[in-house]
Amino acid sequence: MSVANFLDTAYYHEFLYDIYDTQDILDELATYLPACGWTANGSDSYTSPVDSDGRFMTIEFTRVDANYLQMDVLDQNDFTVSQRRMYISSTDPSRVSIFVGPFHFCLDAARLGSTTGEWLAAGMLDNSPEDQSASDRYVYGQGSRNSSGTFSYNTWDYASMLDNNTATHDDRINKKDNGRDGFYKTLGGQWLYHPVEFFVDTATVVFAFAGRAYQQILVSEELCLRQSLIRLPIDSSSLGSFRGVTGAGIVRSYRLAIRV
């Protein structure tokens, strides 16, 4: 069995410790994102690598102040798909996890004095088994807060995408029911994980499948704690390492985890 296409891309990860100011994050991204293959456009704007079908996205950061960081996500047509913010405490230090690859990006901030976190995420979607060029609705954005800084719809199942030409932050990611072990384990007792699958509305279809997020999975929170590391099989002979995302709120006992 070969590795699934959504897990067959490059991935990078690092921690930033004792963060009190959003500027510290921006300073690190200015070096780290270009080192990971992204293009720096100036003014805290970065464009992802272009895939073999000409697909790409751009993320633009705004330091609102020491506590609030905004990320705008733009698609290949320079249309703003998402505007979300995250909060960094100036008194309670955050450990910020940076996840990045050619087609995914995430900031996950866990505070020492809190069991919840804050996050920002963006990415492109894998359309397999269809051609990647089958749809131009492949860019998404997520995060803890809206563009006014209000904490809202921060769980992993909410994301901003183009719904019939309108950017909408909505509940659009697959969920598995809870309450029974069968959703989390095989008959042999092995833990299950699931791809992060997105859906969008078009002019003709409501909730059409849009693709899978790269290097991301949904796994039982029992198995994956906040920013903890887990190893799971990604094919018949290989294990992949994933780290739990604190800022993305738990839904139906599932946590979002990203490859490291």
Locus of tokens 């000409």? 54
Single-letter amino acid code for the residue at 83: Q
CA–CA separation, 130 and 108 (whole Å)? 31
Locus of tokens 């994933």? 242
Is residue 120 within 8 Å of 86, Cβ to Cβ? yes
Would you give per-residue pLDDT tens digits along the chain (260 residues)? Answer: 588 999 999 999 999 999 999 999 999 999 999 999 999 999 999 999 999 999 999 999 999 999 999 999 999 999 999 999 999 999 999 999 999 999 999 999 999 878 789 999 999 999 999 889 888 999 999 999 999 999 999 999 999 999 998 999 999 998 866 545 446 677 777 778 899 999 999 888 899 999 999 999 999 888 887 788 999 888 878 899 999 999 999 998 889 999 99
CA–CA separation, 111 and 101 (whole Å)? 24
Please state the pTM of the whole predicted model: 0.94
3-state secondary structure of 133: helix
- Helix extents (H) in the chain: 22-35
Domain definitions of the chain by residue range: 5-259
Contacts of 101 (CB under 8 A, 6+ apart): 9, 10, 11, 12, 36, 214, 215, 259
The torsion angle over the Cα atoms of residues 176, 184, 8 and 259, rounded to 10 degrees, is 100
